[in-house]
Amino acid sequence: MTAGRELAARGAWREVARGSGLLWSGPDGERVSPTIFAEMSALAARTGAINLGQGFPDTDGPAAVAEAAVRAIRDGHNQYPPGAGIAELRRAVADHQHRHYGLQVDPDAVLVTTGATEALAAALLALLEPGDEVVTLEPFYDSYAGVIALAGARHVPVPLVQHPTGFRLDEAALRAAVGPRTRLLLVNTPHNPTGTVLTVSELEAIARIAVESDLVVLTDEVYEHLTYDATVHLPLATLPGMAERTLTVSSSGKTYSFTGWKIGWVHGPAGLVTAVRTVKQFLTYVSGAPFQPALALALAVDDAPRRLAASLADRRDLRCEGLAAAGFTVTVPQGTYFVVADGAPLGFDDGAELCRRLPALAGVVAIPLTAFCRDGSGAHSALRSSLRFTFVKRAEVLQEAVARLARLNG
């Protein structure tokens, strides 16, 4: 019996009815319960605190792209689009991958999904058998653990190691985590929540291990355009031997600041993409008819992501300097729109507890790093006092948050 069926037999729905929200649990007891983002956004709404928890911009994406979606609605793009996504968008994704990274992508091997979330879920459900192992970095984006548990597979997280320069891959630990049951490596770069952008040598290490052990790699690159300073994002699929074993996932949510439109995509070898499409059709079938032509137009032009990254670089600096001035130890991110700050120097050794108290203490909401770690893991205890703050907010909102957080140091 899978862990899920066992729980159902034990009446897990009663747990839900009692309000714990626990619905499902993987072979290692990983829980599927309401997400930390929903919980912390509700806390912000309840307390009126500035929400630097859930990562979503407080300004809309390019007006011309929004206008294109409005036009698409008026022009009648309102019924089910094709299962794989409209041809214009699949072609635009393929062109984008070629223009930016030199990847040769067949538009027929692009699948449009309901955000990156669905691409990841459909890929994991398509490729995993109960008992298979999936290796991820730790901390990890929360949906990974949830879907791995839903698939009845085993999640094997490998901690990124914290250096003064940021969180880095430990090749030996990654190699040691791969065993005979490992089916898939699930990588994320630029990395949420640490802001790490994997270097060429880190990507080469991942590629070496994937090739040696003949693994499929699922790579989540939703922050591909949000990198700072001279840092460059390199897709794993560009490394030798990787295109034929890699499913690359991205999304318009982060690149164009339309997180609510939920248009993502995945591309890779035709056989793997067909497997993902087969699952996807029973998850959502299709979605976002009028948004697809609008994003096909957006993807053909490169200046919006570049402008967003440039304006985010300044906001990153504002956020990092403000957190450091408030007394946190800050790890400056090279990518994404998140920064990790350790509350230990301020005397707060429990980040989850600090997040619950932060609205009262400073009128701000953040996310505890432990929400991205496996309960009881080494990373969980190493990151116990750390918080994730987003900086994808208007500068005046960040300035107000800086002023409020200064109270912690007073």
Q: Find the binder of ligand PMP among 162, 259, 329, 377 (CB under 6 A).
A: 259
**Helices (H), strands (E): how many in the chain?**
16, 17
State which residue, 53 or 264, has the beta carbon closest to ligand PMP: 264
CA distance 323 to 339: 9
Parallel, antiparallel, or unpaired: how do β-strands 110-114 and 263-267 relate?
Answer: antiparallel
251 binds, among ligand GLN, ligand PMP, none (CB under 5 to 8 A by kind): ligand PMP
The 321-350 site mask, x for binding ligand PMP (CB under 6 A), equals ------------------------------
C-alpha dihedral (157, 203, 207, 270), degrees to nearest 10: 90
Q: How far is CA 64 from the centre of its chain?
A: 26
> How many residues lie near ligand GLN (CB under 6 A)?
5
Smallest gap from Cβ 356 to ligand GLN, in A, equals 18
Q: How far is CA 182 from the centre of its chain?
A: 22
Please identify the residue of the shown chain whose CB is closest to the bound ligand PMP.
115
Q: Are 224 and 187 in contact (CB under 8 A)?
A: no
Q: Find the binder of ligand PMP among 97, 136, 188, 189 (CB under 6 A).
A: 188
- Write out the binding residues for ligand PMP, residues 92-151 only, by CB under 6 A: 115-117, 141
State which residue, 283 or 301, has the beta carbon closest to ligand GLN: 283
CA distance 325 to 246: 42
Q: 């990254």: which residue's tokens?
A: 309
The 179-218 site mask, x for binding ligand GLN (CB under 6 A), equals -------------x--------------------------
By CB under 6 A, residue 305 contacts ligand PMP: no
H or E segment to which residue 261 belongs:
none
Q: By C-alpha distance, which of 392, 386, 230, 393 is closest to 323?
A: 386
37 binds, among ligand PMP, ligand GLN, none (CB under 5 to 8 A by kind): ligand GLN
User: Which one of 6-14, 156-164, 211-219, 247-255 is the stretch in contact with ligand PMP (CB under 6 A)?
Assistant: 247-255
Q: Which three-class secondary structure state does DSSP give residue 406?
A: helix
- Write out the binding residues for ligand GLN, residues 16-45 only, by CB under 6 A: 35, 37
Smallest gap from Cβ 368 to ligand GLN, in A, equals 13
- Biggest alpha carbon–alpha carbon distance for the chain: 59
Q: Which three-class secondary structure state does DSSP give residue 259?
A: helix
State which residue, 68 or 265, has the beta carbon closest to ligand GLN: 265
CA distance 407 to 28: 41
Single-letter amino acid code for the residue at 239: L
Single-letter amino acid code for the residue at 287: S
Q: Find the binder of ligand GLN among 55, 152, 190, 343 (CB under 6 A).
A: 55
Interacting residues toward ligand GLN by CB under 6 A:
35, 37, 54-55, 192
Interacting residues toward ligand PMP by CB under 6 A:
55, 115-117, 141, 188, 192, 220, 222, 251, 253-254, 259, 262, 264
